Structure 1
């Protein structure tokens, strides 16, 4: 079992500060020979990549993508523009290994970063593929990202129910990825900051083994992020561990002054549709 610890940081924002706490874990699982997942979790960016395209190719794709995003973060600026430049560089990195990669090589990418450039802090999620970002708010778990997958397209068109999708033969087929034959523009969702928000960022190795209810259960049972990711990993392995498993849990507790300054949505009881309507357009630089 990987060793997991909780990291924390206090971030100054207009009107106060945010106390962030997070933990991350990645594991090969019980049926794969290698781990094609990669993860980066360091303020202000928290991302997961799930590689595909052969043992070596998938590892190259996910590692190249995470390495480029890490370098971007360390340079000090995280915006949609810098993210997309980093992903374009990652695509060139992937293509520079023709002995191990081809047009079928790529990686998912999903995550969240904190934007403190405006009058109030905001979260911005980014997504390409079928790894996911969940938000737990006011006791409800909400999938913020939309899967780029054949199954999701069938659900959206009304040709497949969510229950039928669980065992669909095309369940692993994604329609967008970071790779030589794909574009590198993620979907973005912008979210206001509310006290007590918890994010789960994960590859599909977790969601293959745990339902949304199961994820929320382990979050409810484990207030500490390291305990939460460990409990979810243990459960996913116990349920079969059919794929590589990568999980980030990120908690935020705004100070009273930050909350008073308007760092929150106007309706604290907003449902999933409200969140998407409020933030589904591309985030501004």
Structure 2
């Protein structure tokens, strides 16, 4: 059986300039491409993010994954992180964001998952689409019109998230299912990238660096050079071949909570965030 989406991948991570420990973790082996940004201090975040990657690592090597596969991996990851509370790491928690290769009737699809404020984007035809939606206090204030995008960049609450795996959170993951297209470039990153590097610069790098590993390396280096106030992790996934045909999304009955609206929350073609 041939995978419905064939990919090339690059990944990079850096502790940053102000942290002693890198609590980010990533997995970038088909069909799973995820980033987890740990929190909790005293190495608890590192253990939490590592637990998420370990659970999703069980899915590596398959041609494609179904929604239930990802749901079960999230549930196992949550149980593993919650178990850390019994070892004294009660505050351990982590974000999770990324995409997996999926299929509908044998056709190539992306299935995105998100909990927290790490992000998943699609870059295609020169446009950067934010697929995931931040689970954060800032995003809630933006949605309510109580904060402008410019104010959000410096607001003291910008690091407060409203959902996580662990850290006392029981918030559900969000999922999006959408057709893959040859030429798609998926970007998955921790907020150490997006808090330092503008959308305009991200677009420039994704446009000019053809190799996904080079793109990941340059974006990570840019975030470090811009201040590196947090850990930075970047995964870039290029769809080099896709089994596809024009059409609409087809959802089975057990996918009724997947967001079938594939329009991004925000599309950027230039400028700064």
Same fold (TM over 0.5): yes
Distance in structure 2 (CA, Å) of the matches to 1:264 and 1:231: 36
TM-superposed CA distance for 1:263, in Å, is 7.2
Structure-2 residue corresponding to 1:96: 83
Contact 1:194/1:264 (8 A) holds in 2: no
Shift of 1:254: 2.8
Q: CA deviation at 1:184?
A: 6.1
Question: 2:10: which partner in 1?
Answer: 23
Any conservation in 2 of the 1:218–1:228 contact (CA below 8 Å)? yes
Q: Distance in 2 between matches of 1:252 and 1:75?
A: 16
Cross-structure match for 2:137: 150
Determine whether 1:113 maps to 2:122: no
| Equivalences, count | 254
Which of 26, 32, 37 is equivalent to 1:39?
26
Alpha-carbon offset, residue 117 of structure 1: 4.5
CA deviations 1:238-260 (Å, max 9, x no partner) are 111110000000111336xx45x
Structure 1 ranges of 4+ moved more than 4 A: 74-77
Structure 1 residue 91: deviation in Å? 2.5
* Separation in structure 2 between the aligned mates of residue 23 and residue 136 of structure 1, nearest angstrom: 15
Say if 2:170 is the partner of 1:183.
yes
State the SS of the aligned residue for 2:113.
strand
Shift of 1:74: 5.1
Q: In structure 2, do the counterparts of structure 1 residues 30 and 157 end up closer, same or farther at CA, with 3 Å as the change threshold?
A: same
Matching residue within 112, 129, 135 for 2:116:
129
Name whichever of 236-245 and 181-190 sits farther off.
181-190
Pick from 195, 200, 222 the counterpart of residue 209 of structure 2. Answer: 222
**Per-residue Cα deviation, 1:19-69 (whole angstroms, up to 9, x for no partner):** 411111111111100010000011111000000111311111111111011
Deviation at 1:77, TM superposition (A): 6.8
Task: Report the alpha carbon displacement of residue 175 of structure 1 after superposing the two structures with TM.
Answer: 0.1
Q: Which residue, out of 51, 62, 68, partners 2:38?
A: 51
Q: Is the 8 A contact 1:204 1:245 kept in 2?
A: yes
1:192 aligned partner: 179
Residue 139 of structure 1 is matched in structure 2 by: 126
Gaps of 5+ in 1: 1-9, 266-274, 281-285
Partner of 2:261: 277
Aligned residue for 1:116, secondary structure, equals strand
Q: Which residue of 2 aligns with 1:170?
A: 157
Give the TM-score taking structure 1 as reference length.
Answer: 0.82
Is the 2:97–2:112 Cα contact (8 Å) retained in structure 1? yes
TM-score of the pair, normalised by structure 2 = 0.85
3-state SS of paired residue (2:165): coil
Cα distance in structure 2, aligned partners of 1:42 and 1:57 = 25
> Hey, what does 2:232 align to over in structure 1?
245
Whole-Å separation in 1 of the counterparts to 2:70 and 2:236? 21
